Amino acid sequence: QKEVEQDPGPLSVPEGAIVSLNCTYSNSAFQYFMWYRQYSRKGPELLMYTYSSGNKEDGRFTAQVDKSSKYISLFIRDSQPSDSATYLCAMRFSGGYNKLIFGAGTRLAVHP
Amino acid sequence: EAGVAQSPRYKIIEKRQSVAFWCNPISGHATLYWYQQILGQGPKLLIQFQNNGVVDDSQLPKDRFSAERLKGVDSTLKIQPAKLEDSAVYLCASSTFRDRSLGSPLHFGNGTRLTVT
d(CA B91, CA B37): 7
pLDDT digits (tens, 9 = 90+) for B22-72: 999 999 998 999 999 999 999 999 999 998 899 999 999 999 999 999 888
> Across the interface, do B108 and A97 touch by the CB < 8 Å criterion?
no
Q: Which residues pair with B12 in a beta bridge?
A: B115
DSSP SS3 for B101: coil
pLDDT score for A52: 78
Q: How many CB pairs under 8 A join A and B?
A: 62
Confidence of residue B102 (pLDDT cuts 50, 70, 90): low
Element (H, E) at A18: none
In Å, how far is A89's CA from the nearest CA of chain B? 9
What are the b/e assignments for B17-53, b being 16+ CB within 10 Å? Answer: eebebebbbbeebbbbbbbbbeeeebbbbbbbbbeee
CB B33 within 8 A of CB B77: no
pLDDT digits (tens, 9 = 90+) for A76-87: 999 999 999 999
pLDDT score for A33: 93
What are the b/e assignments for A18-39, b being 16+ CB within 10 Å? Answer: ebebbbbbeeeebbbbbbbbbe
CB B60 within 8 A of CB A105: no
Q: What percent of chain B has pLDDT over 70?
A: 93
CB A103 within 8 A of CB A36: no
pLDDT score for B49: 94
Contact B25/A at CB under 8 A: no
> B5 pLDDT exceeds 60?
yes
**Pairwise pLDDT comparison (A28 vs A77), residue with the higher score:** A77
Tell me the mean pLDDT in the region A91-104.
Answer: 84
Contact B45/A at CB under 8 A: yes
pLDDT digits (tens, 9 = 90+) for B60-98: 999 999 999 988 899 999 999 999 999 999 999 999 866
Contact A43/B at CB under 8 A: yes
